[in-house]
Structure 1
């Protein structure tokens, strides 16, 4: 059975999609950019600030679904340029605090709202 997940603690979707879908023991959140949940606008600053906010947004969605960043098994990370790869890695590592999920990371031509990064995850529900 599919369950649609929604929380006020993450930005509202900017298109016709859910913040996340929960299926059995898995949670599939939509990708998140570094947008402030209150305003829907990108946070000011570097890729580190945007990556941190994107992961805070994902954390809020995962919590609403009964999961957390500790339960993430796979991430896909989209960067506006690979020149930001090292800075992105630093922010990513700080937010996951020792948990190292599988990851794919690559550059794309453009992201929503001209974001510097977007992060997508797959997680399991806490038991």
Structure 2
């Protein structure tokens, strides 16, 4: 199995012992992306703003491999408060043209750096 580490300066650097993404065969496995604003290096205060940044970061990693959200086959959203489900859905829906990937959304006790939302994904080329 050929394995390629994917790293782009257009998305936040990993904050632990992991990589932004791994490409193997035609599949791209993207690590969870916090809602860090790449312009400021900080996380905005609101969940919608963090979701927007998280998805922008995810898109930057996809673009590094010549892909887009059209290549996504599975996403997982982690929320610290399920009360934010609707707000995140509103932002999330803007990134797709109706061809949504399979998705899970789970509540977690906490996220790194005090984040409110984190999104991981799997994409397939072709």
**Any residues of structure 2 matched to 1:1-127 within 5 Å, and which?**
1-42=2-43, 44-125=44-125, 127=126
2:53 and 2:99 mapped to 1: Cα distance? 18
Deviation of residue 121 (structure 1)?
0.5
TM-score by length of 1: 0.93
1:17 and 1:82 mapped to 2: Cα distance? 27
Give ranges in structure 1 of 5+ residues lacking alignment: none
2:79 and 2:22 mapped to 1: Cα distance? 24
1:20–1:61 contact (8 Å) kept in structure 2: yes
TM-score by length of 2: 0.93
Local SS of the residue matching 1:95: coil
CA RMSD of aligned residues (A): 1.2
Greater alpha carbon shift after TM alignment, 30-39 vs 60-69: 30-39
Q: Which consecutive aligned stretches of 4+ in structure 1 deviate over 6 angstroms post-superposition?
A: none
Give ranges in structure 2 of 5+ residues lacking alignment: none
1:11–1:37 contact (8 Å) kept in structure 2: yes
1:71-104 CA distance string (max 9 Å, x none): 1000110001101011111011112242311000
Local SS of the residue matching 2:85: helix
Q: Report the count of equivalent residues.
A: 125
1:32-66 CA distance string (max 9 Å, x none): 01102354321x23211111110100000011122
1:75–1:122 contact (8 Å) kept in structure 2: yes
